Structure 1
Amino acid sequence: MPTGYYTHPAFQLHEMGHFHPECPERLQAIEDHLISHGLDGLLDRRDAPAATEEQIERVHRPDYVSQLASVSPASGYHAIDPDTTMNCHTLTAATHAAGAAVAATDAVMAGELENAFCCVRPPGHHAEPDRAMGFCFYNNVAIAARHALAAHGLERVAVIDFDVHHGNGTEAAFRNDPQVLMCSFFQHPFYPYSGTEHIASNMSNIPLPAYTNGMAVREVVETIWLPRLNEFRPQMLFISAGFDAHREDDLGQMGLVEQDYAWITERLMEVARVHAKGRIVSCLEGGYNLSALGRSVLAHLKVLMEG
């Protein structure tokens, strides 16, 4: 079975102003690397549908969803916070980003796809049930994971987050939920300055100092993540695939390279093969150095495509 690749034209229309690092060019950089390395035609490319209100509201409060719609500008920009801004296309893009993760979940569960990568923006892992922040509006991975539990009857799912920033929104969505195990590492102290206090038992949060390199991260995966994942026996894995822990990315100060992302993906695929029939849905989060982002997603996808 092929690896699915979900994207949508709306993702190119959402933008938060000149020189904002979370820019449409991010997705073009990924596409360029896929084409130049001959992977473009080997993926099962699919348009991301829009998520429904019901799907979104499994994670986000209805009043938050309504409030976000009410401030969506007809033109120009509406600032949520100093880093997070809406234009007239943002809500559409966010709805399709969440819909990509849901559709990928359905296709993988149906056996149409071996696994899937959602090449989406805006990202999602900072979006809390009642708050947009950190470039994020809807929490794509959390919505997909909740969909797997609610619509497909799974009993245990895992969320793995290797973005340089802590996925505070995902943690808020699943704190103390026995059906979800979240494993993450993140630079600390660093935005959003969370993930280190009052840790719920279903969270495996590993704060790491600036300049941590790939070998140290691999040790974390081997000695902490993998034992927790194998003990939990997830029936599906969801990856918040942020690539801003790359050593070339100026939004973080960690030291990963493409080979580290490939290695992490291989380890997660081993867990998925043992416990989850290989089922993985990965969603793009951060990654702001365009060359490093393209190379890292390529490395991630190559491993996913090996099945």
Structure 2
Amino acid sequence: MFTQAPASDIPHDPAAIALRLLDGPADDAHIGALLDTLPKVRAAELDPWVAARIAEVSDDLCPQDLAVIAALIDLTSLSPEDTPESVQALVAKAVAPGHGLPSTAAVCVHADLVSTARQALDAQGELATLPDAGQVALAAVAGAFPHGRSPLAVRAAEMSHVVTAGADEVDIVIDRGALLAGRWAEVYDWVALARRLVQRPDGTRARLKVILESGDLPSYDLVFRAAIIALLGGADMLKTSTGKGRHGATPAAAAILLQAVAHWRDETGLDVGVKISGGVRTVAQAAQYLHLARALNGTQRADADHLRFGASSLLDDVIARVDPLR
């Protein structure tokens, strides 16, 4: 287990946190030693627990529940056919979904459309006076999404581009090849570099969301290990999937990520979040994930700082539930 320290005494610099937790440099040996102390995630225990929690979820959701789900959505479009016009429409829908629903937490777009989305969000500013409108963050995928297989300089340049273009949040994917080979330091180094690259010249920074592609990892233990390495590197949110892999999110994978951030909070005092993406299309699915999040991290963390749904069609299902005659 990690060395515990009072939250008030913990520096918020990721490199300093990693140095303290690893008791040395972030190399394969030190990271591997830390990973070996982690609790084991056993499918024979986790799967029945998750199934029991899901069985508790009612399909009869009240308008307040639907509003909560809508406010947790990163309304996403990552299609090869995206255009400036389609992104503008996406932004308008995110800011003002109508039907008495609040704004979504964010919009998420390709790196080359960040400037378009930024301009559209800024132009929607007058809608902030609407009763249900809120601040919509601009998220971008970067770092050679969805596979991360470009040279490091290319990945870094794309990261810098989206931050300069106005992204509030940046979603990257880990080096899954390095993870599967046990090259822990390579996984860590990329996340740590990405954390530095989201810094802005004025001292502020974009939020860093790190995608594990959990459905394509061979074991629950490796998902948990990947989550801890991403947190060591400075992730603000762990994300299940790119939506482009062989498998998307699953309740079990979501539970592991939620357990990882709870473990991180207990051991470091730092509060980070989870983004569930990849195949989350219906209110029924979102309600199950929301219930898991509340069970593992508390009702008070069922907000956009701690939980997101990356989705393109979930909002449509929320609207259909609110207004079935639309």
* Structure number with bigger Rg: 2
Q: TM-score band, normalised by the shorter chain?
A: 0.3 to 0.5
TM-score normalised per structure 2? 0.34
TM-score normalised per structure 1? 0.36
Higher helix share: 2
Higher strand share: 1
